[in-house]
Structure formats: C-alpha cells, structure tokens
Chain A
Amino acid sequence: MPSTDIVGWFADIGLHDRPHVGGKGGSLGELQRAGIAVPPGFVVKTGAFERFVQALEREAPVRAPVQALDPDDLDAVTACCKEMRARIEATALPADVLNEISAAHAELCKGVQAIPVAVRSSATTEDAVDASFAGLQDTFLWVTSLEDALKRVRTCWASLYSVESVTYRRKRGMPEEGVAMAVVVQKMVNARTAGVMFTRSPLTGDRSVITVEGAWGLGSAVVGGEVTPDRWVIGKITGEIPVREISEKLHQHLPAVGGGIDHVEVPEDQRRTPCMSDAELQALRAIGRKVEKHYGRAQDIEWAVERGTNEILLLQSRPETVWSSKDAAPVARPASDPLSHVMSIFGGQR
C-alpha cells in the first residue's frame, strides 16, 4: 500500500518530514534512504493522531481544557490527564485510521500471523526534555498482534497527556493546537547481539575512533544497563582495534513466547566470549562511517545483529551532542614560521 497522511513507509520519509513523522520515524526513513539496513516498518503519522483528536473533540473538548490548566495546580492537572488518557484508550479509532494502520500492519507481517513488532512514540518537537518524557519511555517491544499494536499506538498518543508532559507544556505556555505525536511500528529484530555505537569517542571526543558496546540478546539489556557490555575501540580510518574489553556477560534479554521480554542467564560458555566477530565489527564501522557522512556529524547509534541471518540492522541514530557542544580552542594554529612548532618539544613548554 502507498504512503498517505495517516501511514508513511520508511522508504518514503526523511528527516525533513519530522513535523509529520517525528524525530525517530524521520531518522529511520532517512537511514533507509541512505542505504542503511533498518528493520522494516512504517510510521503512524501525526495525521492519524489529528483525525483521532478531532473525533475525540466531537464527543467532548480535549485541547481547550488542557490549555486552560494551571501547571501549579497539580491536582487539577492530574485529574485532567487521567481523564484524557482514559478517553484516548477507550474511544474507537476513526475508520480510515483503523483501516490504514491495519492494512500497513498486515503488509509488514506479509500475511504471517503474530509477527512481533515494536511500537515506539516518535515526538515531533526537537526539545530534548519533551522528547525524554514523550519519547523514550514509550517503547513497546515484542508486540505480537494487531490488537496489541493498536492498543500501544493509543498508549503512545496518551503519553502526550502524562502529568510531566502537560506540566512541561503549560509551564512554557506552548499552544495545545500544535501538539501531536507520531508512532513508529517496526518489525522486531530477534537480536543475537545488540548494542550501541558512537562515531566519536564518548570518553575523549576523539573523532578518529568508533566505540562499540554490545552484549548477547536484545539491546534493551545494554541500553538499560543490566549487563556490562563488551567494548571495542575501532580506528575509524584504519580499522585497527586497539581496545577490546570482553566482559563477563551474565544476563541477556530474549523475546518471550507470546510477547514481551525474558530476562535469562547467559550460558556459562558464552559469558566471556566476544559477542561480535572482527568482521562484524568492521561491517559496523563501515555503517557508522556511512551514517556519519550522511548526516555530516557524529552519531550515537543503536544496532542489532539479527539471529539466524547475522544481518546488522540499525535501530536508531541520533546526533552526538556532548562533545559537539564542547569543541572550542583549536589544538594548534598555523605558525608564521613552521619551524617554531618544534619548540613544543624542545622549549619545555609542555
């Protein structure tokens, strides 16, 4: 099915579509267009949310009462949020929204019943704090039926009406009219290994290395800090691997039968085994360089190696912010007499 203003396939969207697909969705589309493998999926665009809110508004006002809230009146905010979330979760979806999401889900599953998907909120604002309320907390993995997926889409939408999110908007006087949420629905990767990659050293800001952290199973164990991952530092240009820290990986997250995640122990003989081969690390390095080049700046990337196919897929890529904001004085300046540089060694000025 083609993309519409309700549903957009990754192949049809990019970063510039952020207002309609959110940051996460735009980034996944952008990656796919740049030729980077990502798990297939689509975005439930803000157009779907808008239609749904319109339907809600027809029953009873939504945006006006929220807009009227006093952020310091916590009781009122809490009561209002509770009501809005209940309405979002209880009200039937407009027919066109329901049909298009269902059709897209069916196409993603290619007729296979109960293929697991991830449902993740994709905030349209650039604001990091807002994103952290509305975005990061709302990721639902291993959603195995259309019904559950639809339910999770509503949960993502409802997260716009969390107490934190609403208080935040009200304190800044942001208009409720523009508030919208996109939701990513993406095929789950049954990861053999997963982790993160920084195309700039998180330790020193060095642009010439790629740091990779990974552990067995799903990436949630690494991102959630439940396992000490293996860690490698790879020369971005040379490909050499001067740092290899293979840790004892006691736990891993695996997809549970019937949805969700199982926390299981890693078999004894795998705990001290590197979870990535050198060839895979080199492939990851090539991907990191490609993504960085595409965006023109250093990236923080989540990746997974699919069990069975051993294909490397990117789950997410976002710009590195810590070091980029620190860049200040140049390491050295050109000198009118090039020879004077040697005084840094001979002149005792170190």
Chain B
Amino acid sequence: MNAQLKPTGFPLPSSLRVIPGTERAQAAYPYHIQFSPEDDSRFWFYNSMHFPEPMSAFDMVTAEAAYCALGSANTRVHCLPTTLGIDHRIINGRVYIGGNAVTDPAEIARRTEEFQKRAFYYYANWERLYAQWREKMLKLIQDSQALPKVELPEFEPLANVHAGKGVASNQALLDTYQKTLEGYFRMWHHHFEFLLLGYGAYLTFFGFCKKAFPEITDQTIARMVAGIEAEIFRPDDELRRLARRAVELGVDSKFQDGVSPDDIIKSLEKAGEPGREWLRELAVSRDPWFNINVGDGFYHYHRAWNDDLSMPFAGLPEYMRKVRAGESLDREVSRLQDERKQLIEDYRELLSTDEERAAYDQMITLAHRVFPYVEGHKFYCEHWYTNLFFNKIREFGGLLSQNGFFPDAEDVFQLTHYELKNAIIDMMTAWSNGSAPRGPQHWPKIVAERKAAIAVWAKQDTPPALGPVPDVIDDPAIVMLWGITRESLNQWLSASGDVTSNEVKGFAASSGVVEGPARVVRSVEEISRLQKGDVLVCQVTNPTWAPIFQKIVAAVSDIGGSMSHAAIVAREYGLPAVVGTGNATSRIKDGQRIRVDGGRGIVTILQ
C-alpha cells in the first residue's frame, strides 16, 4: 500500500531522475542525504520556503546543520511528545524533507512527561533564559569575529618562533576552518533552542482565536502578537536616521537614483566635513545593523547590506525626499503599540463569557512573552551570524583561488564542506613541503561541472511533494514551520492542473486591493528597476527590502507565510501583500498588469 501511487498522489522519490549530465554534481552530496528506494514509503515535501533555489555543494551545510539542531531540540532536548526530527534529502539541488511523527500512545505519554519537565521549565523561566541566550549568541558572534585572518605567510612570523609557539601557520588554517564550521553548527543549535516552543505558544493562541472567531484572518492574529520593537526593524530605522542626517548635513544631493554606492561615498569624501560626518554616522549604523541579508541567509549569495550597499542606498533618496517634504519618518511605535493593545481588547470583549476571557488572557500573555525570541533570533542567527560564516568561507575561497584551486574565490561554494577541508589540507601539505598543491589539477573541472548543473537544475520544475499522501498531518513541527496541512496538500494536488487560470493564489498577508504593473525581481541586483507604483513580484520577500516598500504599491512573493516579516512590513506600510504563492515569479511576466487582493490572497493577471 505504501509504495502505491494514488491516482491523485505525488510522484514517488524513486521516479525522480537526476537530470542527465548532472549525475556527478548530484553525487557530491553525501550518501546519507541521497534518496534511496526505502524512501518511497514516506511522504516528503520540497522545502521551497527555506531553500527556494538549487543548493550549491557548500550551501548544503545549512540544511545539514539546521536539521541536526532542529532534530536534537525536538527529539532529545525538549522531547516533543508527538514529533521527532526532520529528515532531509537532496536531489537535483532541491531539498526535500519528511517528518518523523510519534504515534504510539504509550510513547507519547512517556515523552509528554519528559516534555513537561523540560519545555515547561523553559516557558516558566523564559525571560531569564532568553537574556542568557542573547549573551551566548553575542559570545558566539565575538568568537567568530575573533578568528584569525585566513592567510599563509611565506615564513612563519619571527614572533611566533621567538615565543616558542611550536605550531605552524598551516595548522592555524585548519583550526580556523574547523572553528568556523563548528560555530555555524552551534549557531543552529541556539537558533532552535527556543523556536518550536515559541511557535507552539503562538499557535496555541492562534488556535484559540480560530475557534472563537472562525472567520478571523491570520494577519489579524499576527497583528495581536507581533512585536513592534523587534531587532529586525532596526536596519530600516537606521536608514531613516541616515536619511535625516544627510538632509541635516546638507549632503543629500549626493544621493541620486542610478549612482553607485561607491561613487556616492567618493563624492561624500570630497564633500568636506559634512560628508565625512555622514560617513562616520554610516559606520555607526553598519555595525551591527547592516549585518542583514537581502535574503534569508541560507545561501552564500544572500549578501549583507554591509557587503553590498546598493540595497540600503536604494531606499535613501525616497526617505530624503520625505524628510525635505517635512513628512515624519518615525515609525510611530507608540501608535502601533496602542493599536495592538486596542485590537486585543476589542477581540477580548467579543468573547461570550468571562471564562473564555480568562483563557484568552492566559494564552496571549504567553504568546507575548515568547514572541520577542521568535522575531528577534533572526537578526542574530540568520543574518549576523550567517554573514560572518559565509564571509569567512570566502576568505578560504580567496586563498585557494590565489593558489590556483579554482578561478574565482566564490567558486569555493561549489565544494562540500567535507571537500573544502580536504582542499585546505592539500594546501597545508603543499605549504609544508614547498611543493605544488594538487587542487589546481583536481578542482577547476569539478567546479565548472557543478556550476553548470545548478544552472540546469534551476530551470527544472520541482514537484512540491513526493510519495504517499498521509491521511492527517499532525506533526506540530511541520504544521508550525511550514504551514502544511492536509488541506494545503489537497490544494497542491488540484493546483497542478490549473495552470491556465489567470489567478495566482497565496497567503493573504496584508489586506487591500490594488492594481499595477508587475516588476518581477529575481535578484537584489534588479532592485533598482523598481519604479514608483510598481507591484513587486519576487521569490522571497524580506524585511531588509523594507526601504523599497515605500516605492511599491503591493508585494507578491513565491515564499513566505502570513507571519513572515515581509507580511509584517507590508502591513506597517499599509500595502496589500500576497505571499507564499509558490510560483508567482514564473507565472507573472514582467510588465504585466496585475491586481493584488491582499485580503484574499489572490493575484489576478489582467493582461
């Protein structure tokens, strides 16, 4: 029964073929994440939310580290009663995942007992543990920043010799690499230390609201809980500050659309003391607030504002125009807080009994306590830390490319982290012996082959799910993190035959109806194409894109849920947004006129 394909089911993993010509690139992924025949008996889904693009060999480390950490938190640390960890497989560069539910009632009972000793302790001591978490994360970040520069001197520095150090620089290279990798794996453990518990408390309140108010929208519940003061808003706040400062200093005329950040900075350097003053202010904002990615931070090419100023600078001229026009740029935090308070109070009043109100109070109190973590961890983990990590790997890429291992420093990301260690040891050995490294003969062909494979994979359609459809999806981790339910699977199954419709459906993220020309933006480099009045259509929306939200009239994304930060930013800007459409960037053509109904989650292609 398990291996049988239901007429309306998803393809079996074994029916998926590695694209001809990419077999060797596929073989680069380790054996334990390749599909095997036994996998046909299980349900898998494509994790397009976190990994919307084919994974290069190195970037696979994110899936590996994240699932290792998620699983240990669920299975061993907090002992979630009904779920263990999440298995992952990679084929054609795409990450499929499958949950491990616990269904035996006796085992659930045993785990429930453990869970209450562990998770309840976390809930009861949340504020203290979260404060401690921040300290731990900052320490981890400091450790990463303190790692030595990746370099090999011709001779060991004299100081090391006189100090009797005894361990040569090539060993430091390996140490640095291993610490870099170790730090990344640790970071993911911290990432999941509170996450499921946080989502669980939020979903408890969410579930109550859905029962008490069956027609309440997800976004209204989100508005009752979402923080207004979260760290994730800081980068955009800093931009507003910088825009104001530029106007005050009279250097705002240097910021023109179409001028590169480098040229702007050069002209500011020449603009005397006011220009230098503004650059000092910029430096203050950059550390740490520009350590924010233009994506989710899961891919090496999700660069930070700090590494590519074109994103933050794209938002500055419009902010400056507003300052000059006397408009307030301040996020009205107190107004937003008052609104949230009123919303909670108004819904509370609608409940029918005091008993229900007391339960509501208990649940929203817990949701509010846990939510700062749910929102706050992203800046430290997915943004700040992943930037440090990928940039450190880039340093190794620089050293290896200088030594002929591959043409470009970025090519380092075509090696798995296991292979990279191998290449580093090759380099160490060559340095030791004064001979040539073997890598330059070995890697260039492989790197070229893998880059070509990713280009091929990127064009392939990816089935949203594989294997037999389970009757129920009761795995809280899957429901919480991916929003996958039996109903959404049914929708996926029916959507496959529905490609001629002129409607694209997604999550209703921010209500309102608006029409405008679609601007399909596939990468950060294309951001500058956005004109005032455009509808942004992109793969992943991200709060770091906030500066451009002032230009657009609506946002549509392939990936994201109603609690995504993008949805929150859209609501703050009062823009309609439809997220998690799955395929808006492929269905909608650049320049097409579209209607975005953010209240219903529907995008209509009008021409």
Q: Give the distance to chain A from B55, nearest Cβ to Cβ, in Å.
A: 31
| Contact assessment for B359 and A332 in the assembled complex, using a CB-CB cutoff below 8 Å | yes
Give the shortest distance, in Å, between A264 (CB) and chain B (any CB): 30
Within 8 A of A (CB), among B92-129: 108, 112, 115, 119-120, 123-124
Interface check A112, CB cutoff 8 A: no
A344 within 8 A of B: yes
CB nearest to A240 among chain B residues: B511
Of A205, A240, A346, A348, most B-chain CB atoms within 10 Å: A346
- Interface flags for A202-234 (1: CB within 8 Å of B; 0: not) read 011111110000000000000000000000010
Please choose the segment from A86-94, A114-122, A169-177, A335-343 that sits at the chain B interface, where 4 or more of its residues have CB less than 8 A away.
A335-343
B203 at the A/B interface (Cβ < 8 Å)?
yes
Task: With CB as the reference atom, state the residue of chain A lying closest to B472.
Answer: A350
Most buried by A among B215, B362, B599: B215
- Interface: A72 (CB within 8 A): no
**Chain A interface SS verdict (over half):** loop
Question: Counting CB contacts under 8 A, is A241 at the interface?
Answer: yes
Taking a contact as CB atoms closer than 8 A, the residue among B112, B115, B358, B599 that contacts A244 in the complex is B599
The reply to whether B366 and A348 form a contact with Cβ atoms under 8 Å apart is no
B204→A244 contact, CB < 8 A: no
Docked CA distance A233–B220 (Å): 14
- What residues on A are CB-neighbors of B346 within 8 Å? 237
Q: Decide yes or no whether B347 CB sits under 8 A from chain A.
A: yes
- How would residues 206 to 241 of chain B score, 1 for a CB under 8 Å from any chain A CB and 0 otherwise? 011001111111011001000000000000000000
Residues A342 and B216 in contact, CB atoms below 8 Å apart: no
Q: Nearest Cβ distance between residue A297 and chain B, in whole angstroms?
A: 11
Whether the pair A346, B217 counts as a contact (CB closer than 8 A) is no
- Closest B residue to A241 by beta carbon equals B599
Chain A nearest CB from B360 CB (Å) reads 8
Q: Which B residues, 296 to 314, have Cβ-Cβ distances below 8 Å to chain A?
A: none
Contact A348 B356, beta carbon cutoff 8 Å = no
Residue B503, interface by CB 8 Å: no
Q: Do A241 and B214 touch (CB < 8 A)?
A: no
* Interface assignment of A95: CB less than 8 Å from any CB of chain B: no
Contact of A330 with B599 in the complex, beta carbons under 8 Å: no
Q: How far is the CB of A20 from chain B (nearest CB, A)?
A: 34
> Is the CB–CB distance between B355 and A333 below 8 Å?
yes
B82 interface contact, C-beta 8 A: yes
Contact among B347, B358, B474 with A348 in the assembled complex (CB-CB below 8 Å): B474
B211 CB contacts on chain A under 8 angstroms: 331-332
Residue of chain B at shortest CB distance from A203: B215
The chain A residue sitting closest to B201, CB to CB, is A342
Q: Chain B's nearest CB lies how many Å from the CB of A201?
A: 5
Whether B123 pairs with A330 at a CB distance below 8 angstroms is: no
Residue numbers in B under 8 Å from A350 (CB-CB):
207, 474
Contact (Cβ within 8 A) B215 A348: no
B534 at the interface (CB under 8 A from A): no
Q: How many Å lie between the Cα of A338 and that of B597 in the bound state?
A: 38
Q: How many residues of B contact A (CB 8 A)?
A: 53
Partner of B600 from A201, A242, A338, A339 at Cβ < 8 Å: A242
Cross-interface CB contact of B214 among A206, A243, A337, A345, cutoff 8 Å: A206
The distance in angstroms between the C-alpha atoms of A208 and B480, with both chains bound, is 25
Which of chain B's residues have a CB closer than 8 A to the CB of A341? 204, 208, 359, 362-363, 366
- A348 CA to B80 CA in the complex, in Å? 10
A348 to B203, CA, bound (A): 13
- Whether B81 lies near A240 (C-beta < 8 A) is no
Interface string of A312-350 (1 = CB under 8 A from B): 000000000000000100111111011101111111101
Is A235 engaged at the interface, CB distance under 8 Å to the other chain? yes
List B contacts of A204 (CB < 8 A).
214-215
Neighbouring A residues of B212 by C-beta, 8 Å: 331
Answer whether residue B353 sits at the interface, using C-beta atoms and an 8 A cutoff: yes
Which one of B214, B219, B353 has the highest number of Cβ atoms from chain A below 10 Å of its Cβ? B214
A243 to B511, CA, bound (A): 10
With an 8 A cutoff between CB atoms, is B605 at the interface? no
Asked whether B362 lies within 8 Å of A334 as measured between CB atoms, the reply is: yes
A238 adjacent to chain B (CB < 8 Å): yes
Q: What mask results when residues 37 to 61 of chain A are scored 1 for a CB within 8 Å of chain B, else 0?
A: 0000000000000000000000000
Neighbouring B residues of A241 by C-beta, 8 Å: 511, 599
Given contacts A333-B356, A346-B80, A346-B82, 18 further A-B contacts (CB under 8 A): A204-B215, A206-B213, A208-B216, A209-B216, A242-B217, A242-B511, A243-B599, A330-B352, A331-B208, A331-B359, A332-B208, A332-B211, A333-B355, A337-B120, A338-B366, A341-B362, A342-B123, A343-B112
Closest 5 CB pairs of A and B: A334-B358, A204-B214, A348-B82, A338-B362, A332-B359
Q: List 27 A-B contacts (CB under 8 A).
A: A201-B215, A204-B214, A208-B213, A208-B350, A209-B213, A233-B215, A236-B350, A238-B217, A238-B220, A238-B223, A242-B599, A244-B597, A244-B599, A244-B600, A332-B208, A332-B360, A338-B362, A338-B363, A341-B363, A342-B201, A344-B207, A345-B203, A345-B204, A346-B81, A346-B115, A347-B82, A348-B81
Which B residues are closer than 8 A to A by beta carbons?
80-82, 108, 112, 115, 119-120, 123-124, 197, 200-201, 203-204, 207-208, 211-217, 219-220, 223, 343, 346-347, 350-353, 355-356, 358-363, 365-366, 474, 476, 480, 508, 511, 513, 597, 599-600
